[in-house]
């Protein structure tokens, strides 16, 4: 099983040893509730690096809904079993107080892309994401960090942040992993009721087949989804919908 670390000081002691030995460190930040999509991120890190570090931290500052934060799945034992299968070496699982010793006085803020798409519907969400990712990258000291393309807007923001602040970690994008029926793998899928799970694959199908974004919105609403947005940009179609209390995002190449 991977070694679980709870403190920044302990990780930095271990990191110093790996760096002194010339080992490359690959880092996969997660909020836990892992699935096969995460497994591909670990596999990519394992392919590229001698040491694979994952973090498991449900970050309170990126939730705009207290219900969503309180009901986010937390299952560290199961997560560690998957990480053991994928040969993850170390798991950083800090407390909120470890990650936010000064509370939320300090934050990373992006003023353009973070206000669009998901950012327009979740005020402050990306401030929380970028702040915790900045913290985790600074703690990890990794050569490479791996992010899935399902969260495409997040990926672009993290890349931009690393460039703006001259962070040395290389950000490595990894393809979306889907269920057999086309639904993008997500930790949130486990919260779907059986009826919602049966409907959920229509999200991707409609994004792929609709003539334009407006048509996709109409088809999704007619199918029973609550639609936050559907937009075509950068040769991709981006969408965010709700089924019950569960919010799903996806993107497809046009």
Active site residues: 38
Number of CB atoms found within 10 A of residue 75's CB: 15
Structure tokens at 118: 């998901």
The contacts of residue 1 (CB under 8 Å, 6+ apart) are 80, 81, 84
* Helix-strand-coil split of the chain, %, nearest 5: 45, 20, 30
End-to-end CA distance of the chain: 41
The contacts of residue 136 (CB under 8 Å, 6+ apart) are 27, 29, 55, 57, 92
Cα dist from 206 to 151, 188, 213, 240, 250, whole Å: 18, 20, 10, 12, 11
CA atoms within 13 A on the CB side of 236: 13
């Amino acid at each position: 099983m991977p070694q679980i670390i709870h403190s920044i000081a302990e990780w930095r002691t271990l990191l110093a040893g790996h760096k002194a030995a010339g080992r490359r460190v690959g880092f996969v930040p997660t909020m836990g509730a892992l699935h096969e999509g995460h497994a591909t991120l670990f596999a990519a890190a394992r392919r590229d690096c001698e040491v694979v570090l994952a973090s498991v931290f449900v970050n309170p500052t990126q939730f705009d809904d207290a219900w969503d934060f309180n009901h986010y799945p937390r299952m560290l034992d199961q997560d560690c079993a998957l990480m053991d299968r994928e040969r993850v070496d170390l798991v950083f699982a800090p407390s909120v107080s470890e990650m936010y010793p000064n509370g939320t006085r300090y934050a990373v803020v992006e003023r353009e892309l973070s206000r669009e798409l998901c950012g327009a519907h979740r005020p402050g969400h990306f401030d929380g994401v970028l702040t915790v990712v900045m913290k985790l990258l600074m703690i990890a000291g990794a050569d490479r960090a791996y992010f899935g393309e399902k969260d495409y807007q997040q990926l672009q923001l993290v890349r931009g942040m690393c460039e703006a602040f001259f962070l040395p970690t290389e950000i490595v994008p990894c393809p979306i992993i889907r269920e057999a029926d086309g639904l993008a793998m997500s930790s949130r899928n486990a919260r779907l009721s059986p009826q919602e799970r049966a409907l959920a694959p229509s999200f991707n199908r409609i994004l792929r087949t609709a003539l334009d974004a407006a048509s996709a919105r109409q088809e999704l609403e007619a199918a029973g989804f609550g639609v936050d947005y559907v937009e075509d940009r950068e040769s991709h179609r981006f969408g965010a919908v709700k089924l019950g209390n569960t919010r799903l995002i996806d993107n497809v190449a046009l």
